[in-house]
Amino acid sequence: MSEFESHLLSELTGPLQDPASDPVAPLQNRRTFLARTSVLTLAIPGVGAALAACSQSGSTTSDTTHQRGRDTSRHAAPGAHNSDSRLDSAVLKPGHHPGTSATGTATAGAANVAFHRWAPELPPLPTGTTQQIHFHAREAPVRISDDTVVGAWTFEGDVPGPIVHTRVGDTVEFTLTNDVDIPHSMDFHAAQIDPKEAFKSVIKGQSLTFRFKPKYAGAFMYHCGTAPVLMHIGSGMFGAICVSPREPLPPAKDFVLVQNEFYLADAANGTRASDYQKMLNTTPDLVCFNGRPNQYVKEPIRVKVGDRVRFWVVSAGPSHPSNFHVVGEQFDTVYLGAPPANAIHGVQTFTVAPGGGMIFELVCDVAGEFPFVNHGFGHGQKGAIGLMVVEP
Amino acid sequence: MSEFESHLLSELTGPLQDPASDPVAPLQNRRTFLARTSVLTLAIPGVGAALAACSQSGSTTSDTTHQRGRDTSRHAAPGAHNSDSRLDSAVLKPGHHPGTSATGTATAGAANVAFHRWAPELPPLPTGTTQQIHFHAREAPVRISDDTVVGAWTFEGDVPGPIVHTRVGDTVEFTLTNDVDIPHSMDFHAAQIDPKEAFKSVIKGQSLTFRFKPKYAGAFMYHCGTAPVLMHIGSGMFGAICVSPREPLPPAKDFVLVQNEFYLADAANGTRASDYQKMLNTTPDLVCFNGRPNQYVKEPIRVKVGDRVRFWVVSAGPSHPSNFHVVGEQFDTVYLGAPPANAIHGVQTFTVAPGGGMIFELVCDVAGEFPFVNHGFGHGQKGAIGLMVVEP
Amino acid sequence: MSEFESHLLSELTGPLQDPASDPVAPLQNRRTFLARTSVLTLAIPGVGAALAACSQSGSTTSDTTHQRGRDTSRHAAPGAHNSDSRLDSAVLKPGHHPGTSATGTATAGAANVAFHRWAPELPPLPTGTTQQIHFHAREAPVRISDDTVVGAWTFEGDVPGPIVHTRVGDTVEFTLTNDVDIPHSMDFHAAQIDPKEAFKSVIKGQSLTFRFKPKYAGAFMYHCGTAPVLMHIGSGMFGAICVSPREPLPPAKDFVLVQNEFYLADAANGTRASDYQKMLNTTPDLVCFNGRPNQYVKEPIRVKVGDRVRFWVVSAGPSHPSNFHVVGEQFDTVYLGAPPANAIHGVQTFTVAPGGGMIFELVCDVAGEFPFVNHGFGHGQKGAIGLMVVEP
């Protein structure tokens, strides 16, 4: 196993769950659980000892489009931070809540955070053929409903992160700066690029830049890829990158819906943290479109009769699909792959895989109020319901 | 938020699950749980206070095909029944079982209910271009196996409700009459119609009529859409509406298979009620085709060598997909969207989303006994197994 | 119900889960659980009394290609072994562990079993148009990681069983010999054949032969189909049969990835057995490609820049799908049905149903290290992560 592979090992896998623990059994004693988890992490061969390939310099650039194979990273020095051990340290630090996202600044100032509706409109394409994007990995309390604040790990302070809109063949030049103690990284599903370089973990105060040209149109997920990935997605580090084809799709009202799950624990300062054990159990407390349960029931999406509506649906998970359906409507087109090809027609509901994305289109022939839901109702009922009002 | 949206809010979302509760933990104390649920319902902003848009008049008609936007409903008067609070009242009424379907007449006379095999044959298309259908929302004990009777919420007294067979462009004129205390409604996935009018809740003794012309062929779900939808589907209020294309599909033996889950609690009178907490946990006790575990093992579907067999598979859920497979056979055609287009060929197993439907076809080249199953065997093993006998 | 159907009944369904038991509740007392299960098996009408159609003779042949309908089996004599009761006997035998795979020879000699990486390369097509395959059903301890040995039920002593590679229209002549006390069988998803004959259970010391000609190309599952199927797949009896089309697909590096879940209990001799109650709860401890958690992280798949890579992905389950994704890459082609037709293009992630298989292709334009994962990360994090190294 090469040095790189050793690095990547810890990046990807993180601690394996203890096979001896019963994931269904309630945790009687968090202290016991954590003691065991800690021992296990060290006990799993190759994981405890591996160091993460975290960037140690102020800024590195990986441009795989024009300079394939060029190694622009500085390798982890002996004693560099391990994403796993860092996480372990963080969760075991006195005053923090173990096995959760209640780290560092995730819960600070929660009481003062206001609720805001997450705007679902697809932003217009930027002018020019190169788009520069700079995200910061931040911890932040996010108010997801009037009475619930989540201590989240975020891109740019919100869950989901900002919508990226680009076009096949245009260039995205992306920079990640990490503002927090735990290492983070960025994985764009729209990029064909060496993840060992482009998607590697960045430690506090450091930045990493890479460039890519999307090859396929579609609704793609992005997320933090640092181990354990489950924890990083589950704590809020995900979003959508929407890639339009070179030939524009038919005119439509375009909306982005990113479905995710929240797994909640108690936490400091009145916030709810994200609970890793619940993530491993795949038992979410809430399932949402764009990070807030039922937000578009209260403040619906609004279109007009005659509009074509295009939903860019991304299933961020971390674990469950979106079984996307619009009550009272049918999709005239669902793109299973890259539009404008790869379409099926006359669809009531289709499954978007966790980690996947699909585009759903319908034409508003009828005025009215049309709920959009995850029709897997054990999850839909936990908050994955919105409302599209079609005005006459 | 408009008055309508306020109404719809309670219609759709129902009580959110308590994020503080661990969905995996066994319920130590039902009384405590219900007390908390009750408080939570009131505590969720906008939900506790909203009134359902229940029909107050004897009969209303919504015809969106010819009279789009015409508002034919009578709006809920102050003090009208709230589907949520009604449900709360019902479940908290002394002598009833909380958080379950053991309401009103759901469990009455269970001992005398006989088991009957649910006929899976697709009924022929009706003559004429307009079909009038009248369903009653009823509570009924349904014997799903020799030793199990479920206290169900139903359309027309059985689970699933009756198969509806219609044709693209023909008119379905549907009337729902509610015979019971809890409000109910009807959501046809084959209809493009304003759900605020057509799919709204109907209270006891009232009726609602609407008309639609299916635009796409396929196997569609119907279900009660009253909040919480999870509870209404999970308690038995679902079925299939099969829409044939204008040009008939190739001659075949047509069977309708509606997969659903049962979540069972103890109940009065020797019946099993449907348990809402288990539904939220997505942990079914039984998974069935057409409402009875393994019924077609005991009394198989019978066809002959040379027959083309067409399965209209609907995943009613409420939560899990059907991973449909026929042992010893392969599907020459699976329609992912509306037939006769949108087909893939040479398929062993395909996932039908909960809330979705697909058509699976095969040709019986070989005589024998061919099990059809949900190949997600953790669920298949709970009763989603049947048998197709191909006679020489 | 015919004699055959009665036989098949026990073959397929096995004991139904007790609807009265809460699948989420921890088992306080295994003895009580098993006593109840045992009673229930007898209580389910038609199941307890049915005898399995186990082959009683030394060898039988079923050739459905040329002699359809010929009944070459010897029927079970009165008093023949019942797959269900045999299983019950086995699990209740003193010294064995109830409700698990820790039967007979499954755990013997575990300490001496070495770990070996499971070779994922698709073997070349055999010469000639008829391929003879002989599998033995065996119990064996299988080391799936440095510190975990599973007491498995296997084909040919490993999990998964051997890869079978054949071609549309060629003949597979398959023989199963059962070396162990519990009845086993073989179900090839690539075969169109009477499962009552070809896929029936074989008892210890007996063999069964059948022939088939695959009609469709694709990545198909095989597995033991003896009741309860969930237990047999969940304990290790599954694998992949890859069917190439008559016209070869484009040249590629072909790899086979069979995703499965492990549900682990304590067992004798330091091994972990497979736990049936966890299978019913659909709560896996580990999820793997080719039977070992994260094995291809430690010893990656290696290809070169410019290679087309073809993944033959089979979701063995028993219960969960594979949401297949390659980090840093996109699939130019995913075959939803039989290749070379039935393709979609430009895909980040697609769901392979449990009991299903799909072919995923990409072109390695970029050198680097590309993880392949189940992007349902609650499961992916449990071991369904591998690494593809693209060398310059």
Average pLDDT, chain C: 81
Which pLDDT does position A98 carry in this prediction? 63
Confidence at residue B91, expressed as pLDDT on a 0 to 100 scale: 36
Q: What average pLDDT does range B39-43 have in this prediction? A: 27
| Residue B228 within a domain | yes
- Looking at per-residue pLDDT, the higher value among B117 and A269 belongs to B117
Residues of B whose CB is below 8 A from A300: 5
In this structure, the answer to whether residues B133 and B269 fall within a common structural domain is yes
Q: Kindly tell me if the per-residue pLDDT of A281 is higher than 50.
A: yes
Q: Is the pLDDT assigned to residue C72 strictly greater than 90? A: no
The string of pLDDT tens digits covering residues A288-304 is: 999 999 999 999 999 99
Residue C115 and residue C243 in one domain: yes
Q: Which two tokens stand for residue B390?
A: 């191909």
How many angstroms separate the CA of residue C200 from the nearest CA in chain B? 11
Q: Residues of C with CB below 8 A from A351's CB?
A: 351
Q: Average pLDDT of B42-48?
A: 27
Size of interface B-C (CB pairs under 8 A): 202
**Residues A132-160: what's their mean pLDDT?**
97
Residues B164 and B20 in one domain: no
- With a pLDDT cut of 90, the percent of chain A lying above it is 70
The minimal CB distance from B69 to the residues A283, A367, A385 is found for A367
| CB hemisphere CA count around C238 (13 angstroms) | 30
Residues B81 and B134 in one domain: no
Task: Give me the DSSP letters along A159-198.
Answer: SS---EEEETT-EEEEEEEE-SSS-B--EETT--S-HHHH
Facing B366 at nearest CB: one of C20, C194, C319: C194
> Is residue A101 situated within a structural domain?
no
Residue B98 lies in a domain: no
**In chain A, pLDDT over 70 holds for what percent of residues?**
74
Whole-number pLDDT of residue C98: 63
Name the residue with higher pLDDT: C104 or C73. Answer: C104
Q: Rounded CA gap, C68 and C61, in Å?
A: 12
In this prediction, residue B97 has a pLDDT band, given cuts at 50, 70 and 90, of low
Question: What band does C196 get if pLDDT is binned at 50, 70 and 90?
Answer: very high
Confidence of residue C256 (pLDDT cuts 50, 70, 90): very high
pLDDT digits (tens, 9 = 90+) for C359-387: 999 999 999 999 999 999 999 999 999 99
* Residue A103 belongs to a domain: no
Does residue C7 register a pLDDT over 70?
A: no
Residue B212 phi, psi dihedral angles, 5° rounding? -150, 160
Residue C10 has a pLDDT of 42
**A114 has a chain C CB within 8 A of its CB:** no
Say if residue A245 is in the same domain as residue A339: no
Which of C7, C22, C36, C233 is the mutation pick for testing B, counting most B CBs within 10 A?
C22
C342 touches chain A (CB under 8 A): no
Distance (Å, whole) CA A106 – CA A138: 8
Could you give phi then psi for residue B256, rounded to 5 degrees? -110, 125
Write the burial class of residue B205 (CB in 10 Å: 0-12 exposed, 13-18 middle, 19+ buried).
Answer: exposed
By DSSP bridging, strand B349-352 and strand B264-266 are unpaired
Q: What is the pLDDT of residue B176?
A: 98
Q: Is the pLDDT of residue B390 over 50?
A: yes
| CB atoms inside a 10 Å sphere around CB B123 | 13
Whether A217 and A284 share a structural domain: no
A257 inside domain: no
The pLDDT of residue C103: 82
d(CA A61, CA A202): 12
Structure confidence by residue, pLDDT tens digits, B284-336? 999 999 999 999 999 999 999 999 999 999 999 999 999 999 999 999 999 99
Residue C154 lies in a domain: yes
- At residue B58, does pLDDT exceed 70? no
Chain A: give the shortest CA distance to residue B295, in Å: 25
How many independent structural domains does chain B possess?
A: 3
Q: Are residues A69 and A123 in the same domain?
A: no
The DSSP secondary-structure symbol of C158 reads: B
CA distance B258 to B307: 22
Q: Which of C41, C56, C91 is the last residue of a domain?
A: C91
Per-residue DSSP letter, C247:
S
Q: Which residues contact C219 (CB under 8 A, 6 or more apart)?
A: C240, C242, C256, C312, C313, C314, C357, C358, C359
- Which element (helix H / strand E) includes C138? strand C130-145
- What is the reported pLDDT for A206? 98
Share of chain C above pLDDT 90, in %: 70
Dump the DSSP string for B150-190.
EEEEEETTBSS---EEEETT-EEEEEEEE-SSS-B--EETT
Whether A153 has its CB under 8 Å from any CB of chain C: the answer is no
Q: What is the pLDDT of residue B99?
A: 82
* Shortest CA distance from A364: residue in chain B: B192
How far does chain B reach from its first CA to its final CA, in angstroms?
64
State residue B114's pLDDT score.
Answer: 95
Please state the rounded mean pLDDT for residues B100-104.
82
Which pLDDT band, with edges at 50, 70 and 90, does A54 fall under? very low
Give dist(CA C173, CA A126) in Å, integer: 61
DSSP code of A113? P
Residue of C71 and B172 predicted with greater confidence? B172
How many other C-beta atoms are found inside a 10 Å radius of the C-beta of residue C109?
12
- Asked whether residue A356 falls in the same domain as residue A375, the answer is yes
The average pLDDT across B107-135 equals: 93
Residue B141 lies in a domain: yes
**Which pLDDT belongs to residue C109?**
79
Pick among C301, C330, C374 to test the A interface (most A CBs inside 10 A)? C330
What is the pairing mode between strands C130-145 and C171-178? parallel
Residue A97: per-residue pLDDT = 53
- CATH number of the structural domain spanning residue B303: 2.60.40.420
How many Å apart are CA B259 and CA B373, to the nearest integer?
10
Burial B256-293 (b: 16+ CB within 10 A, else e): bbbbbbbbbbebeeebbbbbbbbbbbbbbbbbbbbbbb
Phi, psi of C83 (to 5 degrees): -60, -35
Give the whole-number percent of chain C exceeding pLDDT 70.
74
Q: Phi then psi for C60, rounded to 5 degrees?
A: -130, 155
pLDDT above 50 (res A359) = yes
Residues 310-329 of A with CB under 8 A from B: 321, 323, 325, 327-329
The predicted model gives C286-294 an average pLDDT of 98
How much is the pLDDT for C65?
36
Q: Based on the fold, state whether residues A215 and A333 are members of the same structural domain.
A: no
> φ and ψ at B148, to 5 degrees?
-130, 125
Strand ranges for C224-353 from DSSP E:
238-244, 253-262, 264-266, 272-274, 286-289, 301-304, 308-317, 322-326, 333-335, 343-344, 349-352
In Å, how far is B381's CA from the nearest CA of chain A?
20
**Where does a domain end: C91, C125, C157?**
C91
Average pLDDT score, chain B: 81
Q: Is the dihedral of CA A230, A232, A236, A241 positive or negative?
A: negative
Do residue B8 and residue A297 have CB atoms under 8 angstroms apart? yes
- State residue B270's pLDDT score: 78
Task: Say what the pLDDT of residue B60 is.
Answer: 47
CA distance A196 to chain C (A): 6
Whether C314 has a pLDDT exceeding 90, the answer reads yes
Domain that holds residue C172: 110-251+263-273
Where do we find the tokens 């869950």? Answer: A159
pLDDT tens digits for range B226-264: 999 999 999 999 999 999 999 999 999 999 999 999 999
C346 located within any domain:
yes
For residue C159, the one-letter residue type is: V
Residue B234: list chain A partners with CB under 8 A: 377
Same domain (yes/no): C269, C283: no
Residue C135 structure tokens: 């599998």
Query: Does the beta carbon of B9 lie under 8 angstroms from any beta carbon of chain A?
Result: yes
Element (H or E) spanning A136, and its range?
Answer: strand A130-145
Query: Taking 80 as the threshold, does the pLDDT of residue B164 lie above it?
Result: yes
Indicate the pLDDT class of residue C206, thresholds 50, 70 and 90: very high
DSSP readout, A31-48? Answer: HHHHHHHHHHHHHSTTTT
Closest to C17 (Cβ–Cβ): which among B321, B371, B382? B382
Nearest CA in chain B to C319: B376
Give CA separation, A6 vs A13, A196, A224, B183, C139, in Å.
11, 11, 19, 60, 34
Per-residue pLDDT, A313 = 98
Domain end position, chosen among C91, C118, C135 = C91
Decide if C351 and B349 are in contact by the 8 Å CB cutoff: no
Nearest Cα of chain B lies from the Cα of C370 at a distance, in angstroms, of 27
Q: Are B308 and B363 in contact (CB under 8 A)?
A: yes
Mean of pLDDT values over A313-339 = 98
* Shared-domain flag, residues A319 and A296: yes
Please tell me if residue B221 touches chain A, with a CB cutoff of 8 Å.
yes
pLDDT exceeds 70 at position B78: no
Query: Of A40-49, A156-165, C176-185, where does mean pLDDT reach its minimum?
Result: A40-49
Over residues A56-81, mean pLDDT: 36
| A282 and A269 housed in the same domain | no
- Pair B11, B227: CB distance under 8 Å: yes
- Segment B179-206, tens digit of pLDDT: 999 999 999 999 999 999 999 999 999 9
Looking at every residue in chain A, the average pLDDT score rounds to 81
Q: Is the dihedral of CA A149, A150, A155, A159 positive or negative?
A: negative
A14 falls in which pLDDT band (50, 70, 90)?
low
